[in-house]
């Protein structure tokens, strides 16, 4: 665990199980795109992006908490890759997305209907 | 209340106290009030979400800096009964440019009275997003999350 950056509890909780929030940050999205293209180590990402190594580690931790990436030890490095359970994860996200959207839709349509009638 | 779902689809329905015409119009004209805010692939905040009301029309977010993200494309626009669009965001949260690898959302508006409409939504063919992506092979067999989601949705409606 040496060399890892600790992420404050609050940010971990905020992004947990919420890939959309985790990907709301452009740097984090750039990191995720690279990791999704092929597995990479923290050092590689830090070389490719204008971000420090500790910052990359922190972003990866958030992506991991959101269920977007998995990591694996390879010697003294950690290799990150996109979570392979892609379709199931997408389905879970869309399930939540449409739950929220329809709940809001019901509010909006009934509110507007009251105003009209 | 939620109905039964296939492994590669998501289905929800909701009953609203409004005529079908109004329900259809609100759904298609006020998408940016309905769509969860954090759902955004742009680098900036969303200024508005636009639905072009015709088959072949684009559904896109316009960012505060004028950039656009076409995350869906209308395939059927049949007021007040049916609205279908392709879903252009894949498993890695990238825009999918190949139509064969997009999933599909169908929304049906079923009139149950002058002031009552059942809205049925099915987001299907999710497996299309997995084609060609090696990780998708194990993607469709874990249904662990369902009971919790179903319960949550029941509480919302």
DSSP secondary structure, B44-65, as one string: S-EEEEEE-SSTT-EEEEEETT
Each residue's pLDDT tens digit, A21-78: 787 788 888 898 888 878 999 999 999 999 999 999 999 999 998 888 899 998 888 9
Kindly determine whether residue B141 and residue A94, on different chains, have CB atoms separated by under 8 Å: no
Q: Which residue of B has its CA nearest to A99?
A: B153
- Helices B20-29 and A86-116 pack at an angle, to 10 degrees, of 120
Contact residues, chain A, for B91 at CB < 8 Å: 86-87, 89-90
Does the model's pTM come out above 0.90? no
Each residue's pLDDT tens digit, B100-147: 889 999 999 999 999 999 999 999 998 888 764 433 333 333 333 333
| CB interface of A with B, residues 39-98, below 8 Å | 82-92, 94-98
ipTM of model: 0.76
Contact residues, chain B, for A18 at CB < 8 Å: 38
* Distances in whole angstroms, Cα of residue B78 to Cα of each of B1, B2, B15, B21, B86: 24, 24, 19, 11, 15
Which among B16, B61, B18, B19 has a CA at the least distance from the CA of B43? B61
Kindly determine whether residue B34 and residue A104, on different chains, have CB atoms separated by under 8 Å: yes
State both tokens at A74. Answer: 């390879």
């Amino acid at each position: 665990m040496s060399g890892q950056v600790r992420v404050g509890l609050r940010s971990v909780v905020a992004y947990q199980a919420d890939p959309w929030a985790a990907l709301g940050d452009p740097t984090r999205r750039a990191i995720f795109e690279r990791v999704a293209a092929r597995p990479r180590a923290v050092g590689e990402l830090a070389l490719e992006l204008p971000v420090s190594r500790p910052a990359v580690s922190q972003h990866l931790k958030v992506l991991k908490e959101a269920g977007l990436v998995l990591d694996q030890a390879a010697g003294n490095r950690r290799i990150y890759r996109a979570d392979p359970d892609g379709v199931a994860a997408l389905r879970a996200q869309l399930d939540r997305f449409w739950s929220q959207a329809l709940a809001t839709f019901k509010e909006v349509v009934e509110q507007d209907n009251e105003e009209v009638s | 209340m939620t109905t039964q779902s296939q492994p590669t689809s998501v289905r929800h329905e909701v009953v609203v106290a409004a005529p079908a015409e109004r329900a259809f119009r609100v759904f298609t004209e006020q998408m940016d009030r309905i769509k969860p805010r954090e759902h955004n692939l742009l680098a900036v905040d969303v200024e508005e979400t636009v639905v072009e009301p015709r088959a072949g029309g684009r559904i896109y977010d316009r960012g505060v800096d004028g950039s656009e993200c076409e995350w869906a494309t209308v395939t059927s626009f049949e007021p007040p009964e049916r609205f279908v669009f392709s879903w252009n965001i894949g498993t890695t949260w990238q825009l999918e440019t190949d139509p064969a690898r997009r999933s599909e959302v169908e929304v049906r508006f079923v009139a149950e009275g002058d002031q009552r409409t059942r809205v049925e939504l099915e987001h299907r063919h999710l497996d299309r997003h997995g084609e060609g992506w090696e990780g998708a092979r194990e993607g469709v067999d874990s249904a662990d999350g369902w009971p919790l989601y179903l319960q949550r949705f029941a509480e919302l409606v």
